[in-house]
């Protein structure tokens, strides 16, 4: 089967990192299913990519909807080569002692359970094909402690753990599973955190060795590399794409050496 006919699902593909990834996969010749809570935006984005792509409404927190998503894509395109688990939301904006269990559960339901169910359903198809690549969106917040990011950090750390366990389970079945851990990326998710006073862009720029936020396409490049045959011997890894944020151990990346 030629690369022209390869098929990818990008959850949360209507905006931000997901949209940048969908565009890049389409450029590489994939048929892309943009699966997003925002149904109309997903259809519009698929239309922007041209013919041969699909926009599909899904809430990744709803098991039945994720199962239906994979079924629909396989029915329409006949196979599934790449799954990018990207759909996500930011954490609640309160200090820990004011955080609610409902919001905690909701975030885990989207990020952690959503990724689990999508991997499980894609895994069924990829095991039958004996080929496939899954890329899960992790985060620096799952690797280091960021105050009050409880559900978000736990979800992302959990996604990294699942990435490793599924990678090991399926390594001899032709399925690779990897993660990308972005630092701060200029998307609506970050704009919302900044608007809510949960984050200062200036402080992030100071703390980041490269002195700036990432562009969505810089994360998309890493996702597409891990999904591609160029990464054929890479599985179970979480690649930091963070301008050096996680590597940095001194006081202020903007100041004199300390």
Footprint of ligand NAD on this chain (CB under 6 A)?
11-12, 14-18, 36-38, 58-61, 86-89, 110, 137, 139, 182, 184-185, 187-190
Respond yes or no: is residue 30 known to be catalytic. Answer: no
Residue with tokens 């940048």: 20
Q: Tell me the pairing of strands 7-11 and 54-57.
A: unpaired
Q: What count of other Cβ atoms lies within 10 Å of the Cβ of residue 173? A: 15
Q: Which of 30, 152, 184, 233 is catalytic?
A: 152
Task: Kindly provide the b/e burial profile for residues 84-95, where b requires at least 16 CB atoms within 10 angstroms of the residue's own CB.
Answer: bbbbbbbbbbee
Cβ proximity to ligand NAD: between 5 and 120 the closer is: 120
Residue 186, classed as helix, strand or coil, is: coil
Please state, in angstroms and rounded to a whole number, the distance separating the CA atoms of residues 257 and 221.
32
What lies within 8 Å, CB to CB, of 168 at 6+ separation is 236
Cβ proximity to ligand NAD: between 130 and 198 the closer is: 198
Nearest Cα to 108, choosing from 131, 88, 134? 88
Residue with tokens 């395109």: 77
Please state, in angstroms and rounded to a whole number, the distance separating the CA atoms of residues 36 and 57.
5
Cβ proximity to ligand NAD: between 15 and 92 the closer is: 15
CB of 29 to ligand NAD, least distance (A): 23
Of all residues in the shown chain, the one whose CB is closest to ligand NAD is 16
CB of 131 to ligand NAD, least distance (A): 25
CB of 258 to ligand NAD, least distance (A): 26
Cβ proximity to ligand NAD: between 38 and 129 the closer is: 38
CB of 123 to ligand NAD, least distance (A): 19
Residues with active-site annotation: 152
């Amino acid at each position: 089967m030629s690369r022209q006919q390869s098929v990818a699902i990008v959850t949360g593909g209507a905006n931000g990192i997901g949209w940048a990834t969908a565009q890049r996969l389409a450029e590489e010749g994939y048929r892309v299913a943009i699966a997003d809570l925002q149904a109309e935006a997903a259809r519009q984005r698929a239309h922007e990519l041209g013919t041969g792509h699909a926009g599909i409404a899904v809430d990744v927190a709803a098991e039945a909807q994720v199962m239906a998503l994979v079924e629909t894509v396989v029915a329409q395109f006949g196979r599934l080569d790449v799954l990018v688990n990207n759909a996500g939301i930011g954490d609640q904006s309160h200090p820990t002692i004011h955080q609610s269990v409902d919001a905690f559960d909701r975030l885990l339901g989207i990020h952690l359970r959503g990724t689990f169910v999508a991997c499980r359903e894609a895994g069924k198809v990829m095991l039958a094909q004996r080929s496939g690549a899954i890329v899960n969106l992790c985060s620096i917040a799952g690797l280091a402690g960021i105050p009050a990011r409880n559900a978000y950090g736990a979800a992302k750390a959990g996604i990294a753990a699942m990435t490793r366990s599924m990678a090991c389970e399926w390594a001899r079945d032709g399925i690779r599973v990897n993660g990308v851990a972005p630092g701060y990326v200029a998307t609506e998710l970050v704009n919302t955190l900044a608007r809510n006073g949960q984050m200062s862009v200036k402080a992030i720029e100071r703390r980041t060795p490269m002195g700036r936020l990432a562009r969505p396409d810089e994360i998309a490049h890493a996702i597409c590399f891990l999904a591609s045959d160029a990464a054929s011997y890479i599985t179970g890894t979480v690649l930091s794409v963070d301008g050096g944020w996680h590597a940095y151990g001194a006081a202020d990346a903007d100041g004199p050496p300390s």
